[in-house]
Structure 1
């Protein structure tokens, strides 16, 4: 069970890590430095984040995104269900999460070594969505193709967001990216 204390500790570690990464660079920052800045032990750090890169590339949204996709009408094609589900999940991002996500994305976009970690995180999201679609009777290949297309568009928008002007939101860019996958005449 996730307690408020656990969430506060995770947020403290995340904030400390982001501050250090921004100040001295991702590669120059150690887990021990992050733990010290967050006033936790390295063991506590690893209870919340499996690796240093996990601070930047993992999030708790995979189950929420999969649920948002599952909540879309089952008679829609898999691509449209996935697209609509991702758009619906965007509505649950708070301004605070948006600001933290922008910091994370900006750091990832500047670090080529982290792009591979983004791919691993995307794989986990894809698998969560595919499993929900398959559970609803969609053939695995069709579910994987639909999910891959939507996540490729979303990831492209996400990485572009790190260098976008400050008034551009993640939602703006993801909506724009997913609009390219909408059926003709569909609302974005």
Structure 2
């Protein structure tokens, strides 16, 4: 048999160092994916019925039937009817985006990039659903009233992320004021967009109209946060 050729191995010191890769987080398991699909089915059925029949005229049992689930399942995912419209994953995603911004960036810039970066890429059904939910909040008094509690939860998540970046406590006065200003700016930017960019009148123009309104909303949010970052120079 031919003799195997041996090659000298480079020493450990001569090997180039490899850049460390960020640890990949495991995706959701089967059980969690099923929960996400059920939650999405309930919300989409509800939004369709709210559009067709009106929010107040749509009972939860009708939403359950349209989503092909039981009424108890609806309440398991959404403790109240208002939560179908108001709850989503954007707050947690926004807080995570703030944590991932460069450390040498100012907190104001990090907030601005995180918010606009999340809303900008949204497209298609995701954009349409978000706009439909926001329009309902603008129109329905019960949703606007309940939104105050949701803003408190949003403020907690954003405050924790901002506190980590600045080395302050989440209940620090300046942190809470900054978060309150950001949430107020977001709300007014969204309402401004909804008031000045009406939904399309025909089905044929729905996709174009949705994209136009979503782009206008992203622009309005960017303007609002830019105004805050510049010290509100009125």
State yes or no: 1:51 paired with 2:65: no
| SS at 1:180 equivalent | helix
CA distance in 2, matches of 1:158, 1:106: 9
Counting matched residue pairs gives 184
Name which of structure 1's ranges 120-129 and 88-97 shifts more when overlaid on structure 2: 88-97
Does the 8 Å contact 1:70/1:85 carry over to 2?
no
CA contact (8 A) 1:103 1:162 kept: no
Give the CA RMSD over aligned residues: 2.1
Is residue 78–residue 143 contact of structure 1 (8 Å, CA) maintained in 2?
no
State the TM-score, normalized to the length of structure 2. 0.71
Structure 1 stretch displaced more, 76-85 or 138-147: 76-85
Look up the match of 1:148.
Answer: 180
Kindly provide the CA deviation profile for residues 43-66 of structure 1, in whole angstroms up to 9, marking residues without a partner as x: 111122121000111111111111
Q: Partner residue of 1:4?
A: 33
Q: Which residue of 2 aligns with 1:20?
A: 49
1:93 & 1:118 partners in 2: Cα distance?
22
Which residue in 2 is equivalent to 1:168?
A: 213
Q: Answer yes or no: is 1:179 the counterpart of 2:211.
A: no
Q: Contact (CA 8 Å) 1:17, 1:55: kept in 2 or not?
A: yes
Structure 1 moving runs of 4+ over 4 Å: none
In structure 1, distance between residues paired with 2:105 and 2:124: 31
* RCO higher in structure (CA 8 A, sep ≥6): 1
Unaligned runs of 5+ in 1: none
